[in-house]
């Protein structure tokens, strides 16, 4: 391939529909503590962030012990849902992973979730990736670019040679800050939410190497 040597994927909402499980777990936890929490709150304030940052965005500053307890409660609910609900990779996600493999593009998952490896294994796609970056592997959460820069480093690829696939506002910001071509994945059709991405799709099978090469030239002005 030409200018793009690696593709880095967020997991939740991009590769699989864990978004609905996360939302259910967050809502149950927040409701238990007397906080109103709707889907828009999830997408605007929590999605893509490390757990503690997500909680603070809703409740503000509470004692550290209380925040940790709420984070553990949410994690407990989520893992229960992972075990009891059906979970599959999106068909278009499988397609693009195979497509990139056939074209010798390195693959990584870079997610704030500490459940990443467990979920990828359950989906049966963990072996498709050259590296997996989880919430255990970096200190600063999105919108800081550390998670994506860590993935590029593990892949031994220049950040400028990477394309990021993200469905969260903070994830888009992180990808752009990392200096990477950043594709917004907007499965709910609300493209305006991810307007800062270099390009937006509603399905991953709309992406081709030719599209990425053309975008790269436009965004980075490098031919």
Q: 181-195 pLDDT, tens per residue?
A: 999 999 988 899 999
Confidence of residue 223 (pLDDT cuts 50, 70, 90): low
Distances (CA, A) of 152 to 93, 140, 158, 178: 20, 16, 6, 10
Q: Which residues are annotated as a binding site?
A: 10-12, 26, 46-51, 74, 111-115, 142, 166-167
Distance CA 26, CA 51 (A): 10
Confidence of residue 114 (pLDDT cuts 50, 70, 90): confident
Residue 82 in contact with residue 113, Cβ under 8 Å? no
Residue 14 in contact with residue 165, Cβ under 8 Å? yes
Given this model, what pLDDT does residue 141 score?
87
- Residue ranges of the domains in the chain? 6-17+88-220, 18-84
Q: Which residues are annotated as a binding site for substrate?
A: 10-12, 26, 46-51, 74, 111-115, 142
Q: Which residues are annotated as a binding site for Mg(2+)?
A: 10, 12, 166-167
Q: What is the mean pLDDT of residues 88-104?
A: 97
The CATH number fitting domain 18-84, selected from 3.30.70, 1.25.40, 1.10.10, 1.10.150: 1.10.150
Within 10 A of 36 (CB to CB), how many other CB atoms are there? 9
The CATH number fitting domain 6-17+88-220, selected from 3.40.980.10, 3.20.20.70, 3.40.50.1000, 3.40.30.10: 3.40.50.1000
Given this model, what pLDDT does residue 18 score?
87
Given this model, what pLDDT does residue 130 score?
98
pTM: predicted TM-score of the whole model, two decimal places: 0.86
Q: Is 188 a catalytic residue?
A: no
Helix axes 64-84, 18-32, angle to 10 degrees: 140
């Amino acid at each position: 391939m030409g200018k793009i040597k690696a593709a880095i994927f967020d997991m939740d909402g991009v590769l699989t529909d864990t978004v609905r499980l996360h939302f259910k777990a967050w809502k149950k936890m927040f409701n238990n503590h007397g906080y109103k929490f709707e889907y828009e709150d999830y997408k605007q304030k929590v999605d893509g962030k490390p757990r503690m940052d997500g909680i603070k965005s809703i409740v503000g500053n509470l004692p550290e012990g209380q925040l940790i307890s709420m984070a553990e409660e949410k994690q407990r609910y989520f893992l229960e849902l992972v075990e009891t609900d059906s979970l599959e990779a999106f068909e278009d996600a499988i397609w693009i992973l195979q497509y990139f493999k056939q074209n010798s593009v390195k693959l990584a998952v870079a997610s704030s979730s500490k459940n990443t490896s467990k979920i990828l294994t359950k989906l049966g796609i963990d072996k498709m990736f050259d590296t997996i970056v989880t919430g255990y592997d970096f200190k600063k959460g999105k919108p800081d670019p550390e998670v994506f820069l860590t993935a590029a480093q593990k892949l031994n690829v220049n950040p400028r040679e990477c394309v990021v696939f993200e469905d969260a506002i903070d994830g888009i910001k992180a990808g752009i800050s990392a200096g990477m071509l950043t594709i917004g994945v907007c499965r709910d059709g609300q493209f305006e939410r991810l307007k800062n991405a270099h390009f937006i799709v509603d399905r991953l099978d709309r992406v081709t190497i030719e599209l990425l090469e053309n975008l790269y030239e436009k965004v980075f002005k490098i031919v």
